[in-house]
Amino acid sequence: MDLLNTLVDKGLRRELPTREEALAVLATSDDELLDVVAAAGKVRRKWFGRRVKLNYLVNLKSGLCPEDCSYCSQRLGSTTGILKYTWLKPEEASQAAAAGVAGGAKRVCLVASGRGPTDRDVDRVTRTIEAIKEQNEDVEVCACLGLLSAGQAERLRAAGADAYNHNLNTSEATYGGITTTHTYADRVDTVQQAQAAGMSACSGLIAGMGETDADLVDVVFSLRELDPDSVPVNFLIPFEGTPLAKEWNLTPQRALRILAMVRFVCPDVEVRLAGGREVHLRSMQPLALHLANSIFLGDYLTSEGQEGKADLAMIEDAGFEVEGADTTTLPEHRADALAGGCGGHGGGGCGPCGDGGAEAVPETAVAEAGAPAAGAGEVRTDLVAVRRRGAGTDLPPNA
């Protein structure tokens, strides 16, 4: 296909596709799917070889959130029945992180529910980062604490935080349908604060909330402009007890096309296969490794993921290798820019880390975006398991 040849050439040059080209990727047929994966895979291998970076989530504070994000099991008014607990002690968080590192994780993502941290919360997280780094000095630590206030990004960076995650989630035009308790601009501001403080910015999206192809392209182009170093691609986990519990708009094929589009728009960025991959990609997860160069190991914030051993076996069987601690994830030009103290990289290029709206769009828009998965319009408790192990419990973690 001329389209795919053009996109590969642009990706190898780090050149931004047009919006029309990005939309065309999402509009390709299932008959063309393997060609799309192969083309995006060339771009992935150019910048990241066959390496897969492992990341591990530690939920420092679960539930009890005052925000009303429609996709989230920790939202105000959620009846999902998730684990609810207040802040883990630094030694508890360090122990949880150690399990992920032992499983091969190179980055630990420290996540806390809530609108944003108080200064006292930042003190808590500072002690937690210090405890983790004391035990595993080479591990990367990413904080995900919500909206940041003035000076907090600098304090986290001084404490040893390597990165900060705050996702845009969906397009600016549809963001008001996801939540009313903060704005899209608030999220952009927090990512920019993290970049200004010298942290590596991590910001991504959630697909499957009923958005159109245009919405998906809008948010990915906004991410390219914002220029984070890593872009988590979450697929909505439709938790029972949340407003989006019946939004089953994804098929494995559509999920792969979305990942391919993100790779073409953000060719030299760490694209992370994040929350919901097991739910929506299912047996086609190995194909996604040809598009994403990073995944979460084990469980998510409030839902159970694939067994850690199965993750490692999948990577090996698909012909990829786990990225070692002595390897720099980002291509040299991006790593050099970050080392120079700039969290962004000017000139373009692209969670919370974890579980993943606009109001459901009309049925015609969903049809244009792709055929809904079997079970659309129903609550599917068979595919979503609430986390009952690891942090906040007495049971060993999945790592």
Set 14, 69, 157, 277: catalytic member = 69
Which residues does 127 contact at the CB level (< 8 Å), separation at least 6?
A: 90
Set 14, 65, 144, 266: catalytic member = 65
Catalytic, 65? Answer yes
Name residue 96's amino acid: A
Catalytic, 202? Answer yes
Set 75, 144, 202, 277: catalytic member = 202
Closest to 40 in 3D by CA, of 235, 267, 207: 267
**What is the DSSP pairing of strand 51-61 with strand 321-322?**
parallel
**Which DSSP string do the residues of 82-100 spell out, in sequence order?**
---B-PPPHHHHHHHHHHH
Catalytic, 353? Answer no
Catalytic, 144? Answer no
- Residue 250 near residue 209 (C-beta atoms within 8 A): no
- Residue 140 near residue 270 (C-beta atoms within 8 A): no
Closest to 312 in 3D by CA, of 295, 291, 330: 295
Set 14, 72, 257, 387: catalytic member = 72
Set 75, 107, 109, 387: catalytic member = 109
Set 157, 224, 254, 272: catalytic member = 272
Catalytic, 124? Answer no
* Alpha-carbon gap, residue 236 to 358, rounded angstroms: 12
Closest to 178 in 3D by CA, of 271, 276, 247, 274: 247
Fill in the DSSP letter of residue 371. Answer: P
* Alpha-carbon gap, residue 291 to 284, rounded angstroms: 12
* Alpha-carbon gap, residue 265 to 272, rounded angstroms: 14
- Residue 136 near residue 170 (C-beta atoms within 8 A): no
Give helix 252-265 / helix 19-26 axis angle, nearest 10°: 160
Write down the residue that tokens 């906040």 correspond to. Answer: 392
* Alpha-carbon gap, residue 293 to 310, rounded angstroms: 17
Set 14, 107, 124, 142: catalytic member = 142
Catalytic, 142? Answer yes
Provide the annotated active-site residues: 65, 69, 72, 109, 142, 202, 272
